[in-house]
Structure 1
Amino acid sequence: MKRAQLIGFSVALGAAVLAYYVASSFVRPPPAPVTVEKTVNSTEVLVAASDIPVGQIVNEGSFRWIAWPSEAVSASYVTKQGGGVAMMHNLSGSVARSPMLAGEPITTQKLIKAGQGGVLAAILPQGMRAISTKIKAETAAGSLILPNDHVDVILIRQVRNRSNQEESVADTLFRNVRVMAIGQQIETKEGKKAADGSATTATLELTPRQAEMMALANAMGEITLSLRSVADLSTDPARAGSLNLDKPKNNSVRIVRYGAKSRVYGVN
């Protein structure tokens, strides 16, 4: 082999080796990730195994245990280390007072034992009363009012004017009242856009004083429910409309209509 050919072959071989190393540097796999294990203190907490609607009777299959960060465990949670297994057995057969989502921690405040009251009594807030009134499609927003909606309560009654002729008068009794049930329905079903059209009663959440006045209004005339916007829940917290229920010294109601005071109705 001639010397020139030998030199050319050597140069080509060296260039090939150099190209190989350069190419290898570009396709080199990334370094393997380094896994660092960190120990987190956790506590076994009792949670809902699946969605639990209001009024459902729960059993042990309705619950499961999951690891929960210890610093995030509330005192109201049921924990396995704190005698939770026995507590889970005791809670079996209870009725759900409020809806719970799958994975939500179980608390005794959300459940009530059977025999301690019905479902409606279980979801009724402390100190409040549930009272029903007759409804029909034209007095309940076309049967579009659902449980947990808020309404104004309007009384329509007949009175005699100065000419001794009867006329219809409408008075707003209460504002921003929560509807607890429509007929036997106490919870809105998923995807349901209207209440049962055949329902003839609406159950309202009222204070004891309001419940007395509601009973009186049921005997005085026809009740109409005016549906309120959900935006009013935060902007209008008033529970009583034209009736002042915060003054125990006055047991009568005076209705102001068209700027003139009407007769006084006793509520005792």
Structure 2
Amino acid sequence: MRPIQLVILLVAVGAAAGAGLIATRIGTHAPEAPQQVAAQPATPPMDLEDVLVASKDIGIGKNVDVENLVWKPWPKDGLNEGYIQRTSQPDAVSELKGMLVRNPILAGEPIRKAKLVRSDRGFLSAVLPEGMRAVAVRVNAASTAGGFILPEDRVDILLVRQKDANEAVAETILTDIRILAIDQSVQQTGDDKQPSMVAQNTATLELTPDQTELVTQAQQIGSISLALRPLVDNDQPAARQRKPTGVAVVKFGVVSRVTAQQAP
């Protein structure tokens, strides 16, 4: 055997012996103990209570029924005393069936009896605040902002009357009046057959007793028009404090002016 071959053989044997020794040491080395992980405190379960909610939007004057009521779990710490709970009123769905909604209820909103009224008691009288009156006035599309005035809108009331044979005058007699209802119909107009709301004969207003007398008198003198107010005015009470001018009445040649107090 040549010397070079002997050297290569000795090197290979030495490398194999070294690899075996390393493998033996690794196999006999004790495994490290697993690292302990601090246990996280468990989140306490949330206390829930079934509450009756609207399963879809329910508009003013609509009936509540099985189709638009549903029980939903609600956190107990977020319960309101007006909410209807299953534990205290398990038959609430059948008990409330047929009642009318006096204020809009949104989908997912808890049902409260303060927003409902029994249909046999008269809806309009139920939605009227204490001390107020509901008064109907004659209107048409031209006198109701083109028919775009809807219930819950707020308007100014204008009286249009003949000053003489050649001149008519208009004056604002009341401001910031709430619309309770308005007589409308849906008509198909144009080739595209798009429906439009058209005012018909009457609008029902929420008035104080003094305002009721004023508006009734104004209808005998001339015609009534309603001017729609922007929603932003509802958040600016100071903008609604303009004193109404009232109605000028001529009796036995003497001109007097009748005014009414604003609703609170």
Q: 1:66 to 1:8 in 2, by over 3 A?
A: same
The one of 149, 154, 159 equivalent to 1:150 is 154
1:137 aligns with 2:174: no
- Paired residue secondary structure (1:211): helix
The equivalent residue for 1:93 is 98
The equivalent residue for 2:221 is 220
The equivalent residue for 2:119 is 114
Larger relative strand fraction: 2
The equivalent residue for 1:54 is 60
The equivalent residue for 1:28 is none
Q: 1:167 to 1:69 in 2, by over 3 A?
A: same
What do the CA deviations read for 1:57-91 (whole angstroms, capped 9, x no partner)? 12234322122111211111111222x12343321
**Per-residue deviation, 1:128:** 2.2
Contact 1:136-1:143 within 8 A present in 2 as well: yes
Larger deviation, residues 33-42 vs 85-94: 33-42
Of all paired residues, the percent bearing the same amino acid is: 33
The one of 247, 250, 263 equivalent to 2:255 is 263
Whole-Å separation in 2 of the counterparts to 1:113 and 1:234: 31
The one of 79, 83, 92 equivalent to 2:85 is 79
Contact 1:132-1:204 within 8 A present in 2 as well: yes
Whole-Å separation in 2 of the counterparts to 1:149 and 1:45: 32
The equivalent residue for 1:176 is 176
Larger deviation, residues 218-227 vs 198-207: 198-207
Q: Supply the AA of the counterpart residue of 2:230.
A: S
Q: 1:89 to 1:137 in 2, by over 3 A?
A: closer
Q: Supply the AA of the counterpart residue of 2:137.
A: T
- Paired residue secondary structure (2:104): coil
**Per-residue deviation, 1:194:** 9.2
Gaps of 5+ in 1: 14-30, 186-192, 245-252, 256-261
Whole-Å separation in 2 of the counterparts to 1:70 and 1:115: 34
**Per-residue deviation, 1:35:** 9.2
Q: 1:159 to 1:39 in 2, by over 3 A?
A: same
Whole-Å separation in 2 of the counterparts to 1:239 and 1:208: 19
Q: 1:3 to 1:128 in 2, by over 3 A?
A: farther
- Paired residue secondary structure (1:88): helix
What do the CA deviations read for 1:87-146 (whole angstroms, capped 9, x no partner)? 43321111111121222111111111121113x333333332221212223222222222
1:65 aligns with 2:71: yes
Q: Greater CA radius of gyration, 1 or 2?
A: 2
Aligned residues: 225
Whole-Å separation in 2 of the counterparts to 1:202 and 1:10: 107
The equivalent residue for 2:202 is 201
Q: 1:179 to 1:4 in 2, by over 3 A?
A: farther
The one of 127, 130, 138 equivalent to 1:126 is 130
Contact 1:44-1:68 within 8 A present in 2 as well: yes
**Per-residue deviation, 1:37:** 4.2
